[in-house]
Structure 1
């Protein structure tokens, strides 16, 4: 207990020091907004007079509501996987407590890579719905693979499957945020992103509690199959979203006006 407490204190003090340094940097260095708008669409973006009215408008947007639910399901399932990872790994590999920690770290690192790669693909293609749907479907597919890989009793296969799963499930995060910004323009992106985070927390708690009960009563197969099922539902929701790229349209209109002015 003393050793665990000592190591936990090192971790907590380290996190406290890092976040304090970040806080000081934000206060002293960060500016409220850039000197010029970051895009032509931002020139015409309206500021909502009321946060509540902005939320009401978002809730009345059917495409955004579908994305809100599907995003929450995807990220909530990822939270459940991460939370219960140690229990699932130790159930099949009782002596692999250190491996469980390394697998968790691998999921995070591969997820960071996935966020960068998926963001770059989205930036290059501007195919918001297509990229979102493909990443979602791949998350579902590899969640199914993660469910059955434990039956092979090969810990190295769990490493590989967990890394790929983390790549796509975390890679979905920036894609979902950008798709939401497109669907909800000219509403402030902070509002749409904040609701996405709230949805993720809600579904995260729900999936973790339900999965924990299934894991205790019926085993990890039932628990993971539940996550596969909810990801299938989320995939259907994503496929049902109408691709209304409002921000891209505003960007095009603004460029058209600038071009007309230049020709004149």
Structure 2
């Protein structure tokens, strides 16, 4: 039951939204209200519909990340089928990062002004449109349509990522916020990535010998005759079409669910901090936009937040890099384990989902933000060092599963902590702003780190690339030692 021993789930009829609710009344406040208005309703209440809202958000997030990562596991097939360079295939993923940096501030302002429902409808809508365009771009001559569709879906990612922490604040009580954030902004993301890494190569597979004959030799004419080339191209078209239609259907369903059942906010706030924040927002129009800019820029006056934004950007960028270029990191040292490298990444993703959920629950119970943040950072450094050593010494490949799984656990736990910790530092700054700034930093760092790693691989300096990963992760861990801010939102809840 929600709200302690005095709470019970009831069906309420409210003039704004007849939602299932679980009543929670602050004892002192309730006595004061009853003294003057015996029939008054409690001012703090949680609604069972919050879980429906969270599920819808998670489904949209899964579909967004499935669209994002789907090209990465079949990059060799995509370059061959569409007859484009690896640069353009990698661009299908990197366009998400670019769109985030371009569209962040307008979308954060939109979220702050109009709330969750409009933001989610736009995000789910852009994703559904992008996925539909990728169906239209399935033909081998229509890569530009695929790129345009991916760009639209990349814009949706900005809406969805920035909305997650605000959803937790608007719908969930303080004892459930970290868990909700972990489910919505961490577990759903990793689930989408996991589905993409697992389903795409399973559905869109290729005869490697025929693929090499068709596209694998650029210095002399291909070995495949025109009939074999057409046979291979038609087969890839059919498999890619099946996959794109499936993803588009999921994205469309997520959009429909958002239109029908996603509410902007519950009739009454779920926590004291949310109630105070809602009452504080009274300005409208240009004045509200001016206040938004002032508060956003004011975040950079918070030393703890600035340091933590650097830490979070580094750790989240490292997680993104490991997902994107794990094959480039491991393959030069274990060239005969291509298929197993894929399983290695999938295993790390699967275990990270468990870690995120556990981290959210522990954080809700303890509110030990600093201790958990420092623990997962140190664990990440230890795992990255072990990862580098095992690869460089080319020991048994299957030993890599140990640091890979632990690294997934640690970085996933960090993802579950990061957004809530940032909100605690910057409260009452809008939740989407702190999350958006962290995400923007991580996208920028991801582009830089992936570019550096690609350079090291291109000049056959893979070992230097491995130690670069170790060094930058250790830098993030060192900085986090000095980030120990006041938990502003937790303190407000304790005072009530």
Separation of aligned partners in 2, 1:71 and 1:59: 15
Match of residue 168, structure 1, among 393, 410, 421: 410
Q: Are the equivalent residues in 2 in contact too, given 1:112–1:170 (CA < 8 A)?
A: yes
Contact persistence 2:333–2:394 (CA under 8 A): no
Q: Following superposition, which runs of at least 4 residues in structure 1 exceed 6 angstroms of deviation?
A: none
Q: Larger radius of gyration, structure 1 or 2?
A: 2
Alignment of 1:132-151 (within 5 A): 132-150=373-391, 151=393
Encode CA deviations 1:94-146: one digit per residue, 9 max, x unaligned: 23222122122112211211111111221121111111111111111101111
Partner of 1:121: 362
1 CA distance for matches of 2:265 and 2:259? 13
Count, aligned residues: 254
Q: Tell me how far apart the structure 1 counterparts of residues 404 and 261 of structure 2 sit (CA, whole Å).
A: 38
Distance in 2 (CA, whole Å) between partners of 1:12 and 1:59 is 42
1:62 aligns with 2:303: yes
Find the partner of 2:464 among 197, 214, 222: 222
* 1:222-254 deviation digits (Å, cap 9, x = unpaired): 11211111111111221111321100111122x
Post-superposition shift, 1:216? 2.6
Superposition RMSD in Å: 1.8
> Deviation of residue 153 (structure 1)?
3.0
C-alpha contact 2:427 2:489 (8 A) present in aligned 1: yes
* Structure 1 residues without counterparts, runs of 5 or longer: 256-264
Distance apart, 1:54 and its partner CA? 2.0
Cα displacement (A) at 1:208: 0.7
Normalising by the residue count of structure 1, what TM-score does the alignment of the two structures yield? Answer: 0.90
Query: Partner residue of 2:254?
Result: 22
- Paired position in structure 2 for 1:248: 490
Partner SS, residue 141 of structure 1: helix
Q: Are residues 17 and 204 of structure 1, via their aligned partners in 2, closer, same or farther at CA, if it must alter by over 3 Å?
A: same
- Looking at structure 1, the residues matched to 327 and 371 of structure 2 have their Cα atoms a distance apart, in angstroms, of 34
Aligned with 1:44: secondary structure?
helix
- For 2:334, which of 83, 93, 114 is the aligned residue? 93
Distance in 2 (CA, whole Å) between partners of 1:197 and 1:248 is 23
Say which SS state the counterpart of residue 485 (structure 2) adopts: coil
Distance 2:404 2:238 in 1: 30
Higher relative contact order, structure no. (Cα contacts within 8 Å, ≥ 6 residues apart): 1
TM-score (norm 2): 0.49
How far apart are 1:218 and its partner, in Å? 4.4
- 135-144 or 89-98, which moves further after superposition? 89-98
Unmatched runs of 5 consecutive residues or more in structure 2 = 1-231
Moved more, 21-30 or 210-219: 210-219
179-188 vs 30-39, greater mean Cα deviation? 30-39
- Find the aligned partners of 1:170 and 1:104 in 2 and give their Cα distance: 13
User: What does residue 209 of structure 1 align with?
Assistant: 451
Q: Deviations over 1:17-67 (max 9, x none)?
A: 212211111111110012221222111124483331221111111111111
For 1:259, the equivalent position in structure 2 comes to none
What is the Cα deviation at residue 5 of structure 1? 4.5
Please state which structure has a larger fraction of its residues in helix. 1
Of 199-208 and 42-51, more deviation after overlay is shown by 42-51
Q: Secondary structure at the match of 1:92?
A: coil
Task: Check whether the contact 1:88–1:220 (CA below 8 A) recurs between aligned residues.
Answer: yes
CA distance in 2, matches of 1:62, 1:7: 51
Q: Is residue 149–residue 161 contact of structure 1 (8 Å, CA) maintained in 2?
A: no
